[in-house]
Structure 1
Amino acid sequence: MAFDLQEQEQIDDIKAFWRQWGRWICTGVVVAAVAYLGYKGWGYYQRHVATEAAVLYAPVDEAVRSNDTGKLVASAKALQDAYPSSGYAARASLLAARVAFDHGDVKTAEQALGWVTANAKEAALVAVARLRLASLKLDANQADAALAELAKPVDVAFAAQQLELKGDALSVKGDRKGAHAAYLESLAKMSPEAPRAELVQVKIDSLGG
């Protein structure tokens, strides 16, 4: 088919444009396609992991209801091994720590809490585990170990509790000035209606402040 001069010029322009930019356009299309498929694949993988982790979490619920520490710890360990980054594994480990502590197994409780602080992806779960671990250290008269744990950052929502525990640890060490300052800072971060505000005030008053 013959083309008139104007059509031929348009065709030549298209060819020239394609020679200059065609490779980059193709690359961009391929990258976009791969990114889209990767996004879809990642979403599927995440849903699959969540489903499988939920299945493994079922024995955790059963163990809590039956107060079976051994089964609970084993179920939490299975989640830790299979899906360490899932919220289910962190929550199961927190439950295992609580039940183990209630049964006097402080070592297992500390191990479970330590696992959460090292592996949980949710800042709130890490904070809960860190504060509980510090409390266990304090209960064992390990004030320095408790303070070392409390020196690590926690989610801002837990700052008041962290500072209160810091005050407790400093008080145990005989650092009344440091404890007083920590309690005051803790109280400043609480709402006046907060359940622990009155108790923290009592602690401040007991130190002569």
Structure 2
Amino acid sequence: MKVWALTGGIGMGKSTAADTFRRLGIPVFDADAAVHRLQGPGGTAVRAIEAAFPGTTSPTPRGPRVDREALRRAVLGNDAALKRLEAIVHPLVRQEERRFLAQARRRGARLVVLDIPLLFETGGEGRADAVIVVTAPSAIQRARVLRRKGMTEERLKAILARQVPDALRRSRADHLIHTGLSRNHAQRAVRRVVAAEALPPAPPLIPLPDPAP
């Protein structure tokens, strides 16, 4: 089974690329979605986060959940706090990833995609057979992100400071997906990557001998 990693900075159009892989029938592991589950009501990370950052969780009928805005304020601009949070969350996300890969193998998948925003920042590229980077001009990236609810210039600056620069990310890519033109253009680029990395044909089944009479 081939494992590809999909990554890109905030606002670069990674969701469009990931959705296109799914529409092509390729299983995709979404690291961000895993984090949301871990921090959601009754999530595995909730208790550890409350212990490390008191006051950042709140009760719900389905169990306590992380208040993401409170947690963001607790770690914003604090490298030590951010590292403490990552030490809680990253191993749990890896566990989810391993379960995804094991399930894909059991189902006979020949190709899967790991959608990991902080791939290079966490050294995750070594777990993939190829790295696909989604990119767009910085002006388009900025405009997309600032349209998001609650986003500010200060918050965007803090997020970008944590991420590998786009130029470096592109220099380490096996394939690039440009999303600055249109959604259709990006979707066609994904299809070209899949075609270029065509999987070898499945080996023929070897017939078993008839059982002895």
TM-score range, shorter chain: under 0.3
| Structure-2-length-normalised TM-score | 0.25
Larger helix share, 1 or 2: 1
- Higher-Rg structure is 1
| Structure-1-length-normalised TM-score | 0.25
Q: Which has the higher contact order (CA 8 A, sep 6+)?
A: 2
